[in-house]
Amino acid sequence: MIAFAITRRHVDIDLLTRGSGFGYLGSTLTSLVYATYTLIFLAYEGAIMAQAVTALTGLGLRLSYVVVSAVMIPLTLYGMTFSSKFQAWTWPLWIALIGLAIGTAATAPDAGHNMVHPATVSPAGLAGLTVLAVFTIAAAQLSLATQVGEQGDYLRLMPDPTPKNRGRWRLAVIMGGPGFALFAVGIFFASTLLVGYAATKLGPSQVAVPVDLFTAVYERLTGNHTVALVLAGVLVLLSQIKINIMNTYSGSLSWSNFFSRLLHRHPGRAAWVFLQVGLALVLMELDIFSHIVEVLAWYSNVGVAWIAAMVSDLVINRKLLKLAPADLVFHRAHLYNVNPVGFGSMVVAGGVSMVAYYGAFGTAMAALSPFLALVLAFVLPPLVALATRGRWYVARVSELPADATELPCTVCEGSYDVSDMATCPFHGGTICSLCCSTEGKCKDACKPSAWVPRKTALGMPVVPPRAPALTAVSEVTP
């Protein structure tokens, strides 16, 4: 649902969150949650990249952290145009290298047995396999739900569907969004195959280091350690660059969204690239690589609460119960600061699950706490929306020309889609969403109240009319 909503409306995950029951400032917290997600993986994948640099060059690992961090800055400054080309150009080489590795491991003696019974796990350890253990791992994997935000940075740029391409368009959205999970499943089985072989050659600590793992695999193919190390280094570096371009880019957007609302300043997305990379470097130096499972298990409780609350609002409140506006309302001038439907549900679900995570409800619930967050965040939004009668979705409606498709912004003088514009009494004209977000002097003069709904004669807020499809959104950096 999130992937299709992003693609149809051509907005990023932040703007979609604003209009999906979180409110203008309420979605600020989710920008921080998403920025943290991209930051965690930027640091983790960067640490893997640094291990490859160290293996290839002999540099100290801490110095390699600095090198890989510096490399990501120029690669990300050019935005999605460069990123899309880089991803397309490097796919053939990546597929060839990973195909060689998988084929080499799959043709090794006892490959199937080693995959199921890796040498790094003792028989006594396998005896400890339980349903709870499986769900503990699954709970950490739930953190990947927020990956839809990164996928959305590609999906929002897709063209609109037509009668001729509708089938291919739907398939592209599915595979480009939730289809990432299918890719992850493939990675899981390929990883167990590779680890199964490498475990016969390396110790547990070396198998956990990707460059060492692939070196062991390629050495069987080439018979030469140096050649194997070069192939492994190229594969690992290429893989991590492909991943971290998006982690850096999406993180910079999230920091931009977060600080533009708090500080009413927008120095440009590029400025936040440096912040994202700098914070990732700190996490690498703190050895996030050794603690990633614990970090993701903790993060899952918050991340999945956000995603589940959004899906619940899009599916139940908007489509089934009709408690939310049919169209996405994301403009600061049209939103209350906080909508308890999504924001309140996420806070409650995340808070309860974190209490469970730290053992308040027993060992089993501690392991299953992200699933508790998932259920609560899905059930609570319709209950809160019914209790509040949907009054916190729309604060006001701008009276704009009915026949207009684009309107000029009084502040920046650019022209944007009419659904990106609002009337502004402070500036005496229409204003785009970005300029509205960065305006710190108006004190929300356009809204009678930015926090508490005004009751109309029917006791309900006015819902804006259906707007045309978005073609340009000033707050989303191309």
207 falls within a domain: yes
Residue 258 and residue 122 share a domain: yes
Identify the domain boundary among 294, 327, 358: 294
In a domain, residue 130? The reply is yes
User: CB-based burial of residue 46 (10 Å sphere; 0-12 exposed, 13-18 middle, 19+ buried)?
Assistant: buried
Please check whether residue 280 is in contact with residue 43, taking contact to mean a CB–CB distance below 8 angstroms: yes
Nearest partner of 2 among 398, 327, 411, 312, judged by Cα: 312
**Is 106 a member of any domain?**
yes
Predicted confidence at residue 462, as pLDDT, reads 43
270 and 163 in a common domain: yes
- Residue 162 placed within a domain: yes
Q: How many CB atoms lie within 10 A of CB 103?
A: 11
Q: Write down the residue that tokens 């020309």 correspond to.
A: 401
CA distance 469 to 158: 13
Indicate whether 148 belongs to any domain. yes
Question: Do residues 52 and 228 lie in contact, with contact meaning Cβ atoms separated by under 8 Å?
Answer: no
Say whether pLDDT at 446 is over 50. Answer: yes
Residues 226 and 363 in one domain: no
Final residue belonging to a domain, choices 258, 273, 294:
294
Looking at the fold, whether 288 and 304 belong to one and the same domain comes out as: no
Segment 295-308 shows an average pLDDT of 90
Give the whole-angstrom CA distance, residue 341 versus residue 338: 9
Query: Cα–Cα distances in Å, from 229 out to 93, 111, 211, 242?
Result: 16, 22, 8, 20
* Average pLDDT across the chain, whole number: 88
Same domain, 161 and 268: yes
In a domain, 122, yes or no: yes
**Residue 182, SS3 per DSSP:** helix
CATH number at residue 290: 1.10.4160.10
Regarding whether 133 and 111 lie in a shared domain, the answer is yes
* Residue type at 194 in one-letter notation: L
In a domain, 320, yes or no: yes
User: What domain count does the chain have?
Assistant: 2
169 and 278 belong to one structural domain? yes
The pair of three-digit structure tokens given for residue 295, joined into one six-digit string: 């970090």
State how far the Cα of 260 lies from the Cα of 254, in Å rounded to an integer. 10
- For residue 463, the model assigns a pLDDT of 43
Question: What phi and psi, each to the nearest 5 degrees, are found at residue 37?
Answer: -60, -50
- The verdict on 42 and 111 lying in the same domain is yes
Q: Which of 359, 388, 417 is the last residue of a domain?
A: 388
Helix (H), strand (E), coil (C) string for 265-282: CCCCHHHHHHHHHHHHHH
- State mean pLDDT over 131-152: 84
Based on the fold, state whether residues 229 and 314 are members of the same structural domain: no
In this structure, the answer to whether residues 36 and 145 fall within a common structural domain is: yes
Are residues 321 and 283 located together in one domain of the fold?
A: no
CA distances from 45 to 187, 237, 242, 356 (A): 15, 10, 10, 29
pLDDT above 70: percentage of residues in the chain? 93
Centre a 10 Å sphere on the Cβ of residue 36 and count the other Cβ atoms it contains.
Answer: 18
Residue 409 · residue 435 · CB < 8 Å: yes
Residue 7: both structure tokens together = 């693609």
Domain extent for 177: 2-294
C-alpha distances (whole Å) from 163 to each of 4, 166, 168, 170, 467 are: 17, 6, 10, 12, 21
285 and 372 inside one domain: no
Residue 279 reports pLDDT greater than 80: yes
* Residue-wise pLDDT tens digits, 223-235: 999 999 999 999 9
Read off the pLDDT of residues 53-108 as tens digits, 9 standing for 90 and up.
999 999 999 999 999 999 999 888 876 778 888 888 999 999 999 999 999 999 99
Of 267, 342, 280, the residue nearest 13 (C-alpha): 342
Within-domain flag for 14: yes
Query: 303: pLDDT confidence band, cut at 50, 70 and 90?
Result: very high
